[in-house]
Amino acid sequence: MTKSIIPAKLNKTKDKLVLLDQTLLPEKEKYLELDQREDIWEAIKNLRVRGAPAIGIAAAFGLYVCLNQYQTDSVSELRKELKEISNYLATSRPTAVNLFWALKRMEKRFEAEASADKSVKAIKEALLEESNNILKEDQKMDQAIGEHALKLLKPGMGLLTHCNAGGLATSGYGTAEAPMYLGFDRGYDFKIYADETRPLLQGSRLTAFELNKAGLDVTVITDNMAAQVMKEGKIDAVLVGSDRIAANGDAANKIGTLGVAILAKEYQIPVYFLAPTSTIDLQTKTGADIEIELRDGEEIRNGFGRRTAPHSVKVYNPAFDVTPASYITAIITEKGIIKPPFKKGIKGLF
C-alpha cells in the first residue's frame, strides 16, 4: 500500500516534537525538532504544520513535550502548567476544531490519572500514551474514511480536490486523498485535478507534491479554472477535507471551497466532505457559528517573498469559508457515510 509522509511525530530519544516544515515544500524537505511552547505555537500558527488532524497530533505531542520538561513532584502544580500550555497553544488556529479536541482529550486523560492518585511521573507517561493513541487512531481513521469513500467512486473518474487533505494534513493517507491512494493501489486509474488553492498554494505545493511523488495521476489547475474543467466534463466528483463541521452539516474548509461547491452544484457534480468524527463539532450549531481565521495581508501583498500588490493597499484575507449543507452531497467519516438530512445523520452518528 502506498505510504505517505507523517508530518507530525515524536522523537522519543530527544523528547522533541518533529514537524515537516510544509512552508518549504515542494523545494525542500526539512524537519523541525521543537520542545519550546513558543516554537510549537509559531509552527501551528504559520502553517509549518497544517491540516486539522495533523494540527491535533502536533498539539498533543507538543503539550506532552512541554509538560515533560516541567520539574515538579506536585500534581496540582503540573495541572496548572498543563492548563497554561494548553490555553496558549489553543490560540494558534481558532478554526481547526481538532486542535481543541486534542488538547481537551489530553486534559481529560490528565484528570483521569490524577483522580487515580497517580504520581507526576505516571501522569506524564499516560500523556505520552494518549498522544501516541491520537496518532495511531488517526492512521486507522484515514484508512476507514478511504474505504467508505471508494463505495461512492468508480474506476476512471475525474476527481477535483481543493487545498491539501492528504498525508501531509494527517498522519496516514489523509482524508480527501485517502480514497485516491487506496484507488491507486487497486487500479482505479483516477484522474486527479488539484486546485492551486490561493493565496498559499497548498494544492500545488503540497497536494501535487505528495500525489506526484507517490505516482498518482495528478494535474494542477489554478482556482479560477475549476468551472472550465467542470464544463469540459473532466470532473465526476469533488473531494475535500474540513477543519470544522457544524451539527447541521455546514462545513468549513480552506478558502475557495465554497466557490467549488457552488460550481459543482451548477454542473450536477457530487461534493463530498471527508473528515474524522473529531472534526464534527456538536457545540457549533450552524456554519454561522464557526469563527473564521483572518490572516496577515502580506500573504497576498507579498506572496512568497515577491511584491504582488501595493504595500499600502488594504487586504481582506480569510483563511476559510463555510459551505452550507445544501451544497454537500455526503459527509464521509471513519464511521460511515452521512447523507442529508445531515442534522439527523450527524446526531445518529454520535
Instruction: For residue 127, report the phi and psi dihedrals to the nearest 5 degrees.
Output: -70, -35
Instruction: Write down the pLDDT at residue 171.
Output: 86
Average pLDDT over residues 131-135: 96
Residues belonging to the binding site for substrate are 50-52, 93, 202, 253-254
pLDDT of residue 120 exceeding 80: yes
pLDDT digit string, tens, across residues 69-104: 999 999 999 999 999 999 999 999 988 789 999 999
pLDDT of residue 174 exceeding 90: yes
Q: Output the CA torsion sign for 167, 170, 172, 177.
A: negative
Instruction: Look at residues 49, 45, 42, 37 and name the one whose alpha carbon lies nearest to residue 8.
Output: 49
**Per-residue pLDDT band at 5 (split at 50, 70, 90):** confident
Q: Is the peptide bond before 26 cis (omega within 30 degrees of 0)?
A: yes
Instruction: Write down the pLDDT at residue 304.
Output: 85
H helices present in 94-191, as ranges: 97-115, 120-150, 178-185
211 to 182, 194, 276: CA distances (angstroms): 12, 10, 21
pLDDT digit string, tens, across residues 197-207: 999 999 999 99
Higher-scoring residue by pLDDT: 97, 192: 192
Which residues carry out catalysis? 243
Catalogue all structural domains in the chain, each as residue range(s) with its CATH number. Answer: 8-143 (1.20.120.420), 151-349 (3.40.50.10470)
pLDDT of residue 3 exceeding 70: no
pLDDT digit string, tens, across residues 226-249: 999 999 999 999 999 999 999 999
Q: For the whole prediction, is pTM greater than 0.75? A: yes
pLDDT of residue 146 exceeding 70: yes
**Per-residue pLDDT band at 4 (split at 50, 70, 90):** low
Instruction: Write down the pLDDT at residue 172.
Output: 87
